[in-house]
Amino acid sequence: MPELPEVETLKRELAHVLPGKKIAAFESAKFAHLNLVGKKISKVERRAKILIFKLQAPPSKLPAFLLIHLKLTGQLIFKNKNQLIIGGHPADPTKHTRAIFTFSDGSQLFFNDLRKFGWLKVVGGADLAKIFSATGVEPLSPAFTLPVLRKILARHPKRNLKQFLLDQTLVAGLGNIYVDESCFAASVLPMRIVKSLTANEIEKLHRAIISVLKLATKHKGTSARNYVRADGSPGGFVPYLNVYGRGRQKCKVCQTPIVKIKLAGRGTHYCPHCQK
DNA sequence: GTGTTTGTTATCAA
DNA sequence: CTTGATAACAAACA
């Protein structure tokens, strides 16, 4: 599932290759209404789990932004002209390719999305600002201080941690994987009610969120299912997962079997011994 | 056929 | 305003 570390990885990899490229062709049944041909990409950014391509505006015109959300199964795979597919990486296009960008130098970007939840849309600066303001604090930005986390928690005293951390309007970018991993790293159970957290636990949670997201980004994300990097290769974080996807396996710290339950409608994993 | 997988939004209820 | 529950979107897999 593409969450902050996965989208950040794609942002960094695409920021290396896309700026300056001009869209020569755009093929898509689902997003055929988008007018992208002739537009030049000037910048690649990320906010929460959204990728943002800044489209260079002609003189006298306001810039537009192409937003991409991968949702559950989206992939963005970039290929240079005549680039060979490395063994094991998905061949393009696949039957799940929903959009193909062809740039004027012959390179291509494929948007694959098995479950079709992902989307592309073009917005102006005002709409972009609206989306930004409706989205929570970036956990890897300097704005995510301990007092800020305390303040957000205080506004939602009755929620459990799982629901709180999944809410993109509060802290942006965590999904099912990194919520469970952050709770483990903070030694706190995901079903704990926010109000019950001690000052020390909030401090540990703050540090845990930052360190988990940083480490996962360093390893280019978690390829548990569909997610791949911009070159089609998998991210390397799966061996570092402590609880997500490890139900009934032994805790790496204490050997107690990891428990999997349903919480807030989601599969939720935790160690009943390490987390209180 | 049943249940499970999950990001996000909408909707209804308290 | 907060919150909780549920459905919807869609496709694959066990």
Show pLDDT as tens, one digit a residue, over chain A (276 residues): 799 999 999 999 999 999 999 999 999 988 888 989 999 999 999 999 999 999 987 777 888 999 999 998 899 999 988 776 655 455 678 888 999 999 999 999 999 998 888 899 999 988 888 888 889 999 999 999 999 999 999 989 988 999 999 999 999 999 999 999 999 999 999 999 999 999 999 999 999 999 999 999 999 999 887 889 999 888 999 999 999 989 888 999 999 999 988 888 888 899 999 999
Q: Is the CB of A170 under 7 A from strand B?
A: no
* Closest nt by CA–C1' to A172: B7
Euclidean distance between CA atoms A75 and A2, whole angstroms: 9
Closest CA to A24 of A107, A104, A108: A104
Q: Is the CB of A121 under 7 A from strand B?
A: no
Query: Pairing state of beta strands A74-79 and A259-263?
Result: unpaired
Å: A225 CA to B7 C1': 14
Euclidean distance between CA atoms A269 and A261, whole angstroms: 7
Beta bridge partners of A102: A25, A108
Q: Is the CB of A267 under 7 A from strand C?
A: no
CA dihedral A85, A89, A92, A94 (to 10 degrees): 150
Q: Does the annotation mark A49 as catalytic?
A: yes
Beta strand segments in A48-193, E: 50-55, 64-69, 74-79, 97-103, 108-113, 119-124
Cut 0.85: pTM above it: yes
Q: If you measure CA to C1', which residue is closest to nucleotide C10?
A: A115
Beta strand segments in A87-142, E: 97-103, 108-113, 119-124
The amino acid at A159: R
